[in-house]
Amino acid sequence: MLRGLYTAAAGMMTQQRIHDTVTQNIANINTPGYKEVNSVSRSFPEVLIGLVNGDNGQSNAQIGKLNTGVFAEESLPSFVEGTITNTDKASDFAIISNINVVKNGQNIPFDASGKYVDAQGNITYQPQAFFTVQDDQGQIRYTRDGSFHLDSQGQLVTSAGYLVLDTNNKPIVPNAPIDQLTVDGQGQFFDGQGNPTGQQMLISVVNNPNFLIREGNGVYSVNNPSQAGVQALQPGQEAEVRQRSLESSNVDPAQSMTDLMTALRAYEANSKVVQYYDKSLDKAVNELGRV
């Protein structure tokens, strides 16, 4: 009897985590560069139920398999590009990224989620481009939130105060007011006369973005850059920096509300099962136990 109780309880915990994940996505709908997170649920291993006969020499009669519930194993981000909107603010930047991967002389046809599975089941993820920033501990981080501004020292920083780095891994310090500078598609700065200032944004490409670790404030870290395939943007790769624009979050409000209601209904259904087992156990202990 208790197997069903444990299964229903596992279902409640799984739906609670899905609910929390979707709520986080909805709360960040208006966060520039935010990438939605999807909770992945997996089932516990099935067990084989058998009838024990109790007699020597007799084999157990197999009844069938029993599924013992599900659990929310992990949360995976979706790096699908959000809508690029014009802000007309000189310190706002967006990355338009559609980096191709060539295999057997042809571009890999990635699906809408940025993934490709070949006939042998091998998975290839589409590389993603990021602004390269530095936190207050001097550690390298990556972000798609391009809502930058100048701090009190004239350094270009993110909305969370992280330093925006150039191709020399140095903080970008514009030599003129930011509204007098222009930035081309490669992230190179030009003054009001169109002369290069000598600084260029460091755009990093992560070949396997699933190795990115979300840290909050719209930034990601990588424990092993070589494993994730982190490298500077190479000539010919389809990634462009656009000034006076921001990338909105890639959260779909309609789908998020649907997922939220689905998780709520599933949670309620599992809670009803728990209540049923609670009443059954109450009868077994307080009523049948008296006989």
Q: Are residues 187 and 286 in the same domain?
A: no
61 falls in which pLDDT band (50, 70, 90)? low
Q: Is the dihedral of CA 268, 271, 273, 278 positive or negative?
A: negative
Place of tokens 């069938």: 64
Residue of 104, 103, 148 whose CA lies nearest to 126: 103
- One domain, residues 166 and 268: no
Q: What is the pTM of this model?
A: 0.82
Q: What is the count of structural domains for the chain?
A: 2
The closest alpha carbon to 243, from 130, 146, 144, belongs to 146
pLDDT at position 193 over 90 = no
**pLDDT of 222 over the 90 cut:** yes
Using alpha carbons, list the distances in angstroms from residue 147 to 27, 32, 93, 201, 212: 18, 7, 6, 14, 21
Given a cut of 80, whether residue 233 has pLDDT beyond it is yes
What is the C-alpha to C-alpha distance for residues 221 and 208, in angstroms, rounded to an integer?
13
pLDDT (tens digit, 9 = 90+) per residue, 103-122?
Answer: 878 888 988 888 888 888 88
Same domain, yes or no, for 66 and 136? no
Q: What pLDDT does 204 receive?
A: 95
Q: How large a percentage of the chain has pLDDT more than 90?
A: 49
Q: Quote the domain boundaries for residue 230.
A: 84-247
pLDDT surpassing 90 at residue 203: yes
Q: Are 186 and 108 within one domain?
A: yes
Q: Which residues contact 267 (CB under 8 A, 6 or more apart)?
A: 11, 12, 15, 16, 19
Rounded distance between C-alpha atoms, residue 153 and residue 164, angstroms: 13
Q: Give the range among 100-104, 122-126, 237-241 with minimum mean pLDDT.
A: 100-104
Task: Compute the average pLDDT of residues 258-263.
Answer: 93
Burial class (CB in 10 A: 0-12, 13-18, 19+), 14: buried
| 132 and 180 both lie in a single domain | yes
Nearest Cα to Cα of residue 253 among 94, 86, 82: 82
Coil vs helix vs strand at 146? coil
What is the reported pLDDT for 84? 94
Span 174-201, mean pLDDT?
90
